[in-house]
Structure formats: structure tokens, C-alpha cells
């Protein structure tokens, strides 16, 4: 049997180049390489615990699908679907919640840190915390177990969720007999590695990002904002600096070597920025065009997700039937 590698992507707004090089590209590359079956899905109902604006919810969900397709996700090679289209996940979610110890959820990082924060601030322990947030790891377990996934590529921050999934699967299997495959996390070390315009980690909360599909003008402006030192144009320059790092993300080997040479010889920061913009724009342009195509043809995106939904449901239905049987659900 082919092994399944699965990951969920939460719609959180526009993708920036830190997300792209840290998470999107490695995941797409991984799906290309391996000879297992890849399943990537939009974890839209996972976003509901904090996203209550209906326009943003649909906009972010659509934008995420268009972005991943534009970045080279090849849906003929993998299953690409939307979580909310798979009812089997939510039935499994309910069943799993009945074997999940509440204490396991109390210890989940996301909940625990919010609860601790509340106490520190003299608030009631569960202030502002909804059950969607509290139960989040169970839904994530349902996403993974309903597709019998073996490998789950995630960032370090999601490692505990996969461990919890294993624990829930183990408890269920012990109670009802072998039903679920125990999944393993594959930690992507690149997440959060790209630096932002001010030299701190690139993050929306620091307001130091470059949106992947911003306009050319915006891209030029952002690159011009990158902080450099005050050396003169003819001074040799050290490649251990922010602009060189950002340039290197987009450059091929030859371009990088050429830039290293010019750094040694002396080059003005203005020229470095010009070349960086050109290199970044050449890299992004074909993807930006694809992105605009999907933006203008939402029915194409819908078509792809529908096909993925059917394929994923075929797997989930088999697992759900097994689960129903094993818990003794009786159809008269």
C-alpha cells in the first residue's frame, strides 16, 4: 500500500516570502520528490476559532487555494481539497473526542499558553477561549487519521499536535481494536528562517514582510526599504548582510556567484537593490501571472478542489466505515 503524506494549511491571510520559502516551497518540493501519495488540504474550519468575519473567511480560503496552485502545486499529482467539504472528518472528530482525555487537551501548547497568560493578567483562566480552540488538536487528529496518513510535514510549532494525534489513535486502537495508522511528524526546519525587512524574523506581526504576490512597484519599494550599512559604493562589502540573504532566496548559483564577486569588488547599495528587485521579480513573475489567472477564474479553483474532495472522500469513507463498525454502530 502506498504511504500517505498529508498536511493542512490554515487560511490566515496573504502569503509573504517568508511563508513561501519557509513552508510553501518545501512542501511542494516534498510532494514532487517522494513516491508516496501526497494530500494537501485547506484547513478552513481550523481558522474558525479566531476568524469570525465571513468575508475574510471566504477571501482568505480562496486566496490560499489560488496561491498554492500558483506556486506550483500540481493537483494531478496529489489530492488538494478543502477540509469543510469532507463530512467524514467531522464525524470522526466527534467519535475521537469521546476517547480523548480532557487532560491531554489542557496540556496542548496553544490552549495552555493562553490560559497561563489569562492567569498572569489576573483574568479568569478560560477568558476569551472558545471550544474550537480547546478542541483544535482533536480536529487535527481527525484530519490526519481519517486519511490514514503516515507522514505529516509540519513546522516545529505543530509537532505536539501530531504527538497528540498518535496518542488519540493509540487510545482508540486499544479500546476498539486496530483502526488507525499512527502518524509521524516530519519537521520542516525552514519555517520562520527568512528574515524580514528590519532583520528580525519575517512575520506579519512585525510588519516587516514582503507579500509574495504584491505588485512589481510594491516589490521594488519594499526591497528599497531593506536596511543596509553606510559604506561607500566602491567599498568591498560583506555578503553576511540582510540584502544578500534576501537576494540569495531568489538567485540561482550563477547569479549568486556574480553578486559575490561584485560585493568583493565594491558595488553601490542602490545597484544591489536594483539587481535584487530584478532577480526577485523574474522569479515571482510567472507565479504572479498564474495567481492572477486563478483570481480571475475562481471556477477553475473550485473545479480542482471538487475533484480533490471526491478523491479524499473515497479514502475517508473507508476509514469512517471501519470506525463505525469497530465502535459497534448498528445499522438495522
Figure out which of the listed residues 8, 11, 18, 308 binds ligand TRP, where binding follows CB under 6 A: 8
Figure out which of the listed residues 66, 73, 108, 152 binds ligand TRP, where binding follows CB under 6 A: 152
247 closest CA partner among 194, 299, 296, 319? 194
Grid cell in block for residue 38:
501526497
Residues in a beta bridge with 201: 195
If one counts every other C-beta atom within 10 angstroms of the C-beta of residue 12, the result is 16
Containing 29, the helix (H) or strand (E) segment is helix 25-33
* Sign of the Cα pseudo-torsion (19, 22, 28, 31, in order): negative
224 closest CA partner among 242, 207, 206? 242
Figure out which of the listed residues 61, 67, 146, 158 binds ligand TRP, where binding follows CB under 6 A: 158
In whole angstroms, the minimum distance from the beta carbon of 129 to ligand TRP comes to: 16
Figure out which of the listed residues 138, 140, 226, 251 binds ligand TRP, where binding follows CB under 6 A: 140
CA 93, CA 305: separation in Å to the nearest integer?
22
Q: Is 23 in the site for ligand TRP (CB under 6 A)?
A: no
In whole angstroms, the minimum distance from the beta carbon of 191 to ligand TRP comes to: 9
CA angle 288, 289, 290 (to 5 degrees): 90
Are residues 42 and 301 in contact, defined by beta-carbon separation less than 8 angstroms? no
Q: Is 43 in the site for ligand TRP (CB under 6 A)?
A: yes
- Window 93-132: contact mask with ligand TRP (x via CB under 6 A): ----------------------------------------
CA 199, CA 36: separation in Å to the nearest integer?
38
- Lay out the sheet containing 184-188: strands in order across: 79-82, 37-42, 4-9, 151-155, 184-188
In whole angstroms, the minimum distance from the beta carbon of 61 to ligand TRP comes to: 13
CA 158, CA 154: separation in Å to the nearest integer?
6
Q: Is 88 in the site for ligand TRP (CB under 6 A)?
A: no
Q: In the complex, which residue's CB is closest to ligand TRP?
A: 8
Q: Is 154 in the site for ligand TRP (CB under 6 A)?
A: yes
For ligand TRP, the closer of residues 72 and 155 by Cβ is 155
For ligand TRP, the closer of residues 11 and 196 by Cβ is 11
Which of 140-148, 217-225, 259-267, 271-279 is the region at the interface with ligand TRP (rule: CB under 6 A)? 140-148
For ligand TRP, the closer of residues 23 and 219 by Cβ is 23
Figure out which of the listed residues 16, 37, 46, 82 binds ligand TRP, where binding follows CB under 6 A: 46
CA 297, CA 291: separation in Å to the nearest integer?
10
Q: Is 10 in the site for ligand TRP (CB under 6 A)?
A: yes
| Longest CA pairwise span in the chain (Å) | 85
Figure out which of the listed residues 144, 241, 251, 284 binds ligand TRP, where binding follows CB under 6 A: 144
Helix, strand or coil, per DSSP, at residue 158: helix
Q: Is 143 in the site for ligand TRP (CB under 6 A)?
A: yes
**Residues at the contact surface with ligand TRP, assessed by CB under 6 A:** 6-8, 10, 43, 46, 140, 143-144, 152, 154, 158, 161
Amino acid at each position: 500500500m502506498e504511504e500517505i503524506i498529508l498536511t493542512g494549511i490554515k487560511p490566515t491571510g496573504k502569503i509573504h516570502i517568508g511563508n513561501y520559502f519557509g513552508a510553501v516551497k518545501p512542501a511542494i518540493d516534498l510532494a514532487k520528490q517522494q513516491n508516496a501519495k501526497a494530500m494537501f488540504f485547506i484547513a478552513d474550519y481550523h481558522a474558525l476559532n479566531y476568524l469570525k468575519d465571513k468575508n475574510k473567511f471566504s477571501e482568505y480560503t480562496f486566496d490560499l487555494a489560488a496561491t498554492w496552485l500558483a506556486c506550483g502545486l500540481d493537483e494531478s499529482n496529489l489530492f488538494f481539497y478543502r477540509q469543510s467539504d469532507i463530512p467524514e472528518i467531522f464525524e470522526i472528530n466527534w467519535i475521537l473526542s469521546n476517547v480523548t482525555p480532557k487532560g491531554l487537551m489542557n496540556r496542548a501548547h496553544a490552549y495552555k499558553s493562553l490560559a497561563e497568560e489569562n492567569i498572569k493578567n489576573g483574568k479568569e483562566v478560560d477568558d476569551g477561549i472558545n471550544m474550537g480552540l480547546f478542541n483544535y488538536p482533536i480536529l487535527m487528529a481527525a484530519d490526519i487519521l481519517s486519511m490514514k496518513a503516515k507522514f505529516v510535514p509540519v513546522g516545529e510549532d505543530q509537532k505536539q499536535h501530531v504527538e497528540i494525534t498518535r496518542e488519540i489513535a493509540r487510545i482508540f486502537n486499544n479500546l476498539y481494536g486496530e483502526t488507525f495508522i499512527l502518524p509521524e511528524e516530519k519537521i520542516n526546519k525552514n519555517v520562520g528562517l527568512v528574515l524580514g525587512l528590519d532583520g528580525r524574523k519575517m512575520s506579519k506581526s512585525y510588519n516587516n514582510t514582503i507579500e509574495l504576490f504584491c505588485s512589481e512597484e510594491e516589490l521594488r519599494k519594499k526591497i528599497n526599504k531593506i536596511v543596509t550599512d553606510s559604506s561607500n559604493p566602491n567599498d568591498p562589502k560583506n555578503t553576511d548582510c540582510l540584502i544578500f540573504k534576501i537576494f540569495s532566496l531568489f538567485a540561482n548559483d550563477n547569479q549568486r556567484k556574480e553578486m559575490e564577486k561584485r560585493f568583493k569588488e565594491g558595488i553601490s547599495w542602490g545597484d544591489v537593490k536594483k539587481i535584487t528587485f530584478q532577480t526577485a521579480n523574474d522569479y515571482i513573475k510567472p507565479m504572479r501571472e498564474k495567481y492572477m489567472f486563478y483570481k480571475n477564474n475562481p471556477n477553475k479553483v473550485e473545479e480542482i478542489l471538487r475533484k480533490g474532495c471526491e478523491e479524499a472522500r473515497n479514502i475517508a469513507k473507508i476509514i469512517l466505515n471501519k470506525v463505525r463498525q469497530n465502535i459497534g454502530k448498528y445499522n438495522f
